Structure 1
Amino acid sequence: TVMSNHGAKNIGDPQATFGVTLGNPLWEELRDIALKAGSSFMLNVTLNEQRNITNVFAGDIVKAHKVGCEFVKKSAMQRVEKPFEIVVTTNSGYPLDLNLYQGVKGMSAGARILKEGGTLILAAECREGVPGGSPLDKLLRSAGSIEEVLTMLSTPGFVRPEQWQAQIQALVQQKAEVLVHSLLEEKTVAACHLKSCPDISVEVTRRLNMLGSEARVAVLPQGPLTIPYLD
């Protein structure tokens, strides 16, 4: 079910993103599967940055989930009027940034408000590596470029574990240059078709000087825990 639901077609759909349910093929498929399984009781909670429970939603899996989504949009989603030239994002810090696999979620969140051709900087510790030898690591290393990753994933019959993270990363990189500030060795970052960023402040300053006074920077300290979206 996961391999099918997270297949290249679904992941590549523009609606398959944070904060979207209706029209999102991943969510709609999972909803339909749950409904076919018969009556069930849902219990979901929302959290803040201190990991404290901020609300509880229980009952019918469709109705209660809808109410929960409405609460999240008001409490954890941030509307912006236009995209930014530079976005600095995270994956919400420890323990959510243990590896690059998880860090891709931070990339995806930041890319939602990034201008086409802009720069995205991901700050994620990645103490566990990609992880090395993981399906994601092997898939990225097997390709000569991000374009080749997407070509492989679009090949009929091609299915690999964790391919969804490689696809999301590649789609972000089609839109912008992606740099990573982490504990990863530079050769590991390069093998993943990314660029290292030793000093975020220096890099942001350098790029702002190149872009001019009208360039704008967005910073997402909580990464995908604060879901930005364009108006």
Structure 2
Amino acid sequence: MRVKLAYGRTGLEVPLPDNRTTVIEPPHLPEVEDPAGTLREAMREPVHGPPLRDLLRPGQTVAITMCDGTRPQPRHLMIPAVLAELAGTVSPCDVTIVVATGTHRGNTRAELAQMLGEELASSVRVVNHDARDPEQLVWMGQHGQAVPVWLNRHWVEADLRITTGYVEPHMFAGFTGGPKTVVPGLTGLDTALTLYSAERIADPQAAWGVCKGNPVYDDIRAVAAAVGNVDFSLDVLLNRDHQIVAAFGGSLFHAHSEARHAARELAMRPVRGEFDIVLTSNGGYPMDQNLYQCNKGLSAAAAIVKPGGTIICAAECRDGFPDHGDYRRILMSAPSPHELLADIESRRSAIADQWQAQVLAKVLIKARVIMRTDHLGAAELSKAHLESTDHLGDTIEALLAEYGPDARICVLPTGPQTIPYVVGRRRSSVR
């Protein structure tokens, strides 16, 4: 059999043995017939709370969030839909689109034009949130479990605040979208580092699809409830081609609750037992732009690989580790994954990108990891405790021979768009 992995923009085919391979994919739901109409209906007939138009007043300033370029949000559909609802009441010159970068780099002018379309990117004010720029941040006090909260000034000072995003399981925050769009999407670096501290991430409840009792999600919710000031939330669910299959609008927590229940049914799949080899992707472009983002695909695979097994991840990584931030340095700062994890968990002061290094270290302690990428060399991957291959078929054949005739392989062609879990283990709660 041949399976096509989501890889970059084009995909990557790999030969696999029929009798030893399990392929796990999300069900392919078709795109809604009328995406613009579906979005409009979500804003006019919300899950909870008043329609968006009922919140509008002439002369208001409006801030609208959108995801950054590492996320497959259909911004070219969602942002125009929101602007259409504002039309006639709110002046375009009073609208600011804030890119919820979290701790990521800002998007370039060319990237924004690609994400929104040239005409829209040129006609509306678009700003990148910068978690490291004190001039962009407003102190909002401590909330949740002693979380110091700095929040984006453009967001705080707007009269009306609207979030847009998409919902899928997240490896330690439970789910994306909803409150996570603001916290940590629009927070300062200190806030994000506290929310994603080594202690919180180490908690067993900080996991895919878990909200109740998850210390990361609990504080995201607490901070968003205290200071997020979200007036209206618009989230969508996407199929494996990144097309809209459902939309949820309304008050922040009610809309997100409905969306994540639907996302769990769409994305999470049971399997019977662990596998010797798990072949995954990171969902293709734009999600596989760098190794940092690949932790999602690796974490999904780690949930079902046997201890001592092998994870193979195919990801383009056109943006490298990436070059900005501390991720490369942290990964290469210790001689082994065990020492890397111990070093991270022993630190009292937060380090940028430490949580992603912590996630990868845990994966590496459980299983061998081999990368198939066009933009990172074997030498630099080795320094980060990762192996490399240029030939997936040959590598898989050799691994199957090594593990023996009873060895099984599982394939996640769309990576973290499908989150597998082993039947019999306690299932996640999305409440």
Question: Are positions 1:218 and 2:410 aligned together?
Answer: yes
Matches for 1:6-21 after TM superposition, within 5 Å: 6-21=196-211
Question: Are positions 1:103 and 2:313 aligned together?
Answer: no
Question: Are positions 1:29 and 2:219 aligned together?
Answer: yes
How many angstroms apart in 2 are the aligned matches of 1:23 and 1:207?
39
Deviations along 1:39-82, one digit per CA (max 9) or x if unpaired, are 74332111112211111122233332222121112112211121
Where 2:382 maps in the other structure, the secondary structure is helix
Deviations along 1:16-43, one digit per CA (max 9) or x if unpaired, are 1221111221111101112223674332
2:328 matched to which residue of 1?
137
Decide which of 392, 395, 399 is 1:200's aligned counterpart.
Answer: 392
Decide which of 331, 339, 354 is 1:163's aligned counterpart.
Answer: 354
Amino acid paired to 2:214: N
How many angstroms apart in 2 are the aligned matches of 1:111 and 1:219?
12
Amino acid paired to 1:147: H
Matches for 1:168-207 after TM superposition, within 5 Å: 168-183=359-374, 184-207=376-399
How many angstroms apart in 1 are the aligned matches of 2:416 and 2:352?
23
Where 1:70 maps in the other structure, the secondary structure is helix
Matches for 1:46-195 after TM superposition, within 5 Å: 46-132=237-323, 134-183=325-374, 184-195=376-387
Where 2:284 maps in the other structure, the secondary structure is coil
RMSD: 1.6
1:2 matched to which residue of 2?
192
Where 1:137 maps in the other structure, the secondary structure is helix
How many angstroms apart in 2 are the aligned matches of 1:164 and 1:118?
23
How many angstroms apart in 1 are the aligned matches of 2:401 and 2:347?
45
Deviations along 1:143-171, one digit per CA (max 9) or x if unpaired, are 22212211221224232111111000000
Amino acid paired to 2:263: V
Q: Which has the higher contact order (CA 8 A, sep 6+)?
A: 1
Amino acid paired to 2:368: E
State the Cα distance separating 1:214 from its structure 2 match: 2.0
State the Cα distance separating 1:210 from its structure 2 match: 2.1
Structure with larger Rg? 2
Where 2:307 maps in the other structure, the secondary structure is strand
How many angstroms apart in 2 are the aligned matches of 1:109 and 1:204?
19
2:10 matched to which residue of 1?
none
Amino acid paired to 2:282: N
8 Å contact 2:290–2:322 — kept in the other structure? yes
Amino acid paired to 2:401: N
Q: TM-score, normalised by structure 1?
A: 0.94
8 Å contact 1:85–1:114 — kept in the other structure? yes
Deviations along 1:89-146, one digit per CA (max 9) or x if unpaired, are 1111122111111112110111111111111011111122112363101111222221
Q: TM-score, normalised by structure 2?
A: 0.52
Bigger fraction of residues in helix: 1
Amino acid paired to 1:127: R
With 127-136 and 17-26 compared, the bigger mean Cα shift is at 127-136
Aligned length: 231
How many angstroms apart in 2 are the aligned matches of 1:185 and 1:72?
36
How many angstroms apart in 1 are the aligned matches of 2:369 and 2:361?
10
